[in-house]
Chain A
């Protein structure tokens, strides 16, 4: 399973000279095995993914974690949507009041966007993810809701023995008060448990987190603890604060890791980096 990072930033794109290493695009990750491709979220990173695909695929499966702007803002710039020969399947969380396609169309319609979602030239299919595991090609997908404002889901994607867990926006320690030793009470546990790679929210520093409790994001230390509790083999820190430049990210990462002995590999993936699991 090849996992490529097209956007790792949270909240807002922040391209500039001080974000050249880790990138400034908002969340988008592609997962490929042979001829099969999944796309996780449609942040601004999806634009470059669409360009790089260059007709390599005719069917696209885009899985959205939730509909906050940083996770869908690139959708209108994903080239396959404008290819009449392309078949695009969009998956996302069911809402409490309106169907997924109606909620997506709030963004993909005037005045926020010049083209309506129903006018896109591709063959478009919108699916609300079921509460039970489902298959996309040879991928086995589990989608479960996790702690984050609004309806937000995380994904567990399995292909053969390879398991990827994707929880880009997640605050599992909300209200936990450090008492979540019983893993049944840990949001996202079943998605991440013993994954070969966990991609997880690490937006805040430990000093910042107390000011943002309930915003739906984790501190770096909380994410390391979540990865330890769920026994993952590799952790990719994700959804970085747009105000953090490359140097600050590296210093923060090294300082935090210097205080711990981790039973897994942890890294900050760079935009464009490919991890194989």
Chain B
């Protein structure tokens, strides 16, 4: 079992100490880690789920457009960053486990190491409403 690259390990340590939700994925989109604030967003605990594939995590929180249509995974900032290896930002609606709709903003960044090695991506979430 190989350890994760240093960039991923340090990203997790940053995420653990942030008060905003954060995701960390590998280059294939596997969700390697999400912090406690993101656990609230997903309604799941990392301790129990462990890593998740992009197909699993991208639909858990039911992303929606302003008109209420389902937002395809390909339109999520984190998925776009994984495809383009560039930063991405998007504001959209999600439906929480309790059925409430919330407007959130997501910014994702590629994790590039020396010589441009692509190690994955990190996304941070911002709740535009006071209670999420």
Contact = CB atoms under 8 A, between A and B. Distances in A.
Contacts of A145: 6
A187 B16 CA distance: 16
Contacts of A151: 114
Interface string B89-121: 000000000000000000000000011010000
Give chain B's interface secondary structure class. helix
A96 B113 CA distance: 9
Contact of B3 (A94, A175, A176, A190): A190
Interface string A112-151: 0000000000000000000100000000000011110001
Contacts of A176: 13
B111 to A, nearest CB: 13
Contacts of A131: 114-115, 117
Contacts of A57: none
Contacts of B14: 175
B9 A187 contact: yes
A66 to B, nearest CB: 13
B126 interface: no
B114 A94 contact: yes
Contacts of B1: 183-184
Nearest to A185: B9
A94 B12 CA distance: 24
Contacts, number: 40
A277 interface: no
A268 to B, nearest CB: 27
Interface in A172-199: 174-177, 183-190
Interface residues of B, number: 15
A183 B4 CA distance: 9
Interface in A195-247: none
B10 A185 contact: no
B49 interface: no
A187 B6 CA distance: 7
Interface string B1-40: 1111010011011101100000000000000000000000
B46 to A, nearest CB: 10
B13 A174 contact: yes
Given A131-B115, A184-B3, 20 more contacts: A96-B114, A131-B114, A144-B6, A145-B6, A147-B9, A147-B10, A151-B114, A175-B13, A175-B16, A177-B16, A183-B3, A184-B2, A184-B4, A185-B9, A186-B3, A186-B9, A187-B3, A187-B6, A188-B3, A189-B3
